[in-house]
Amino acid sequence: MDVFKKLEITMPLSEALQQIPSYAKHMKQFLSKKKKYLEEGTIEVQGNCSAIMQRTLPPKFKDPGSFTNPCIIGNYEIGKALVDLGASINLMPLSMLQKIGGLEVKSTRMILQMADKSIRHPYGVVEDVVIKIDKLQFPVDFVVMEMGKMQKYLSFLEDLL
């Protein structure tokens, strides 16, 4: 092992393995039997260490899915807002945007494909809307959509919540 510590080669490894057969033999042994060459020692871990180092995995929890949370946007209390942790965007109906008022809508060229494979064009995007949930405040971007046909489903959902 001391020989390998002092060995210095200034050519590509593949070329060295071709030109020095004994080196190739030792390298093959080294790579196939790593633990034989490694020096033993203790490593002291400072602070927290990952589950991989501890060889323990955190407990697996059930997917929370969707849930509702009371929230406030500006002075408008939304009651129970549907929170879906798997959603990629935050969606707001145009009717709610009009009720809240005072938010700047930016136009967008975004195209959304709905779950039923239909294509929808959003009304616009509202950026950095401050959402208040309990005592916490979060800046959130919303995609604003005119619901139209979907309004009857939204009122049904509001009745459920």
As a whole number, mean pLDDT of residues 16-44 equals 67
Q: What is the pLDDT of residue 127?
A: 93
Give the burial string for 104-136 (b: 16+ CB within 10 Å, else e): eeeeeeeeeeeeeeeebebbbbbeebebeeeee
Is the pLDDT higher at 32 or at 46?
Answer: 32
93, 154 contact by CB (below 8 A): yes
Distance CA 131, CA 92 (A): 13
Q: What does R_g of the chain's alpha carbons equal in angstroms?
A: 30
Q: What is the pLDDT of residue 24?
A: 73
Kindly state the tokens that stand for 147.
């619901």
Contacts 24+ apart (CB under 8 A), 102-105: 102/74, 103/74, 103/129, 105/144
**pLDDT at residue 105 tops 90:** yes
- Domain residue spans in the chain? 2-54, 66-160
Percent of the chain with pLDDT over 90: 9
pTM for this prediction? 0.51
Out of 3.40.640.10, 3.40.50.300, 2.40.70.10, 3.90.1150.10, the CATH code matching 66-160 is 2.40.70.10
Q: Which residues contact 30 (CB under 8 A, 6 or more apart)?
A: 4, 37
Residue 61, phi then psi, degrees to nearest 5: -105, 155
Q: What is the pLDDT of residue 55?
A: 64
